[in-house]
Structure 1
Amino acid sequence: MRTALVRRTVLTASAVSLALLATACGSDKAGTKADAKPSAAASSPAAPAAKAKTDAELSALLVTKAELADHLFTAVPKDEVALGEAASGDKAECLPVVKTQGTAIVGTAAGVARTKAVAMPKEGASPEDTAAAGLKALAGTRTSVTLASYEGKGAEEAFAAVKAAATACAGGFTLTMEGETTKIDKVVSGTATGGDEALALTLEAAVEGTKVTTETVLVRKGNTLATHTASALGVAEKPTAIVAAQVKKLG
């Protein structure tokens, strides 16, 4: 039986894969709807104690197709957000890490914006190839990006909470989602660059005998925390290009 972790991964993939299939039929609305015009007023970095950004201001700062033309971007469905917000772990100290896996927010944010992305087929691909790419997206890596802005030093505190949780839960924990449990075998902390602080996390699990990983990169820029989580039905690829584009857009 598939675990809730795998079902959540399939849910995350559905919107982007269907959007690719729509593109194969001659429609690019799904790829353009989530794109937002850059905001010149929000292009400069905020100081740690600056006033928090609103949802609208953060939406203008989300990475879009304008920054990564070879990716398709779609909105994160509310039911997917709800799954992440309801998820929990058997160890209270692991909750900040759990939050990063489901586009949920660590701490109390004043503004939030989300998007998800998947690599597009190469330019010039036939409609059949594009459709095949849409189906492949179900098994491939897709990345959710969550921007959260905090009052005062909230972003610093949220970043510190995730970093501490990753260390405390390095030996693993049990994730509960939709009433089902999945054993996360280990949490590996790594280095990342960009912003004022950055952290990379790799979560490993074995689902039905298959190794499943997620790759998460957190970047704090002033009072905004950007969380990029790449997931797949197997081993996820690192969201290097998406992280670089998002960090650049944050300023």
Structure 2
Amino acid sequence: MRLGTGVIGAMWIIDTVFSLRGREKYVCLNYSGRRERNVPREVFESIMRGEKIIELDISRNNIDRLPPYFEKLSFVKVLDASNNELKYISDSILGLASLEKLNLNNNNLLYLPKEITLLEHLEELSVRNNQLRMLPEEIHNMDSLVRLDLGNNELAALPFGIGALDNLRILNLEGNLFNTLPLILGYLENLEKIIFTKNKRLRKIPRKLIEILADSKSLVLLDLRGNNRLREESSGDNVGWKELKNILGNKVKLSQEEEN
């Protein structure tokens, strides 16, 4: 029997897995693109049935807040809440104790709450295209982070605690308001990629930081393309882009006009 498109559209359990112990029901739910103002009621109904939600996609709606019952989502490993109208993240996020991947891209967030730093299993956090002006000082607690994407926000500085993220491999800070490459990046010994493109205020590159990055065994890319205010010549404690290219070689990418 073929299912009609209406029936398929109404199916909200994408995948169901039964554990061998107790035959508990684990589900992945997808409510993307429904343009609802609130988290779909089916999420709450799933919780009330005792189902263990492990993946939840509520992207591309018009949701402006996460409800209190989110604290019950202790089995969720992947949450996609991108492309909504979120202005803040409530402390109910603390309940997502198993969370490994969190996508908050394309919302209206001005800050991240300190509660988000207590998600000890979080490996990937993406908060692109928001209005973040600062990060929580407690970010040092997020030592499971491997990938952090903060592109296209309004950040001009990083908290000192970010230097404690020993497992961080990829850091994206493109399209922010930095006028200098933060020295704290030198503390991230296992960084492989630093994306720092299109920070249109960027003018200074500290020599001390570049010396540290030059000795790094893990760094493969420092991407500085689209920063056209960088000075050509070195001055005092700062490195010009010409010397920067000589020091880092193929590890650094500069915009086309600078490379020429």
Q: TM-score, normalised by structure 2?
A: 0.21
Which structure would you say has the larger RCO, counting Cα contacts within 8 Å and 6 or more residues apart? 1
Larger radius of gyration: 2
Please identify which structure carries the higher helix content. 1
Please identify which structure carries the higher strand content. 1
Q: TM-score, normalised by structure 1?
A: 0.21
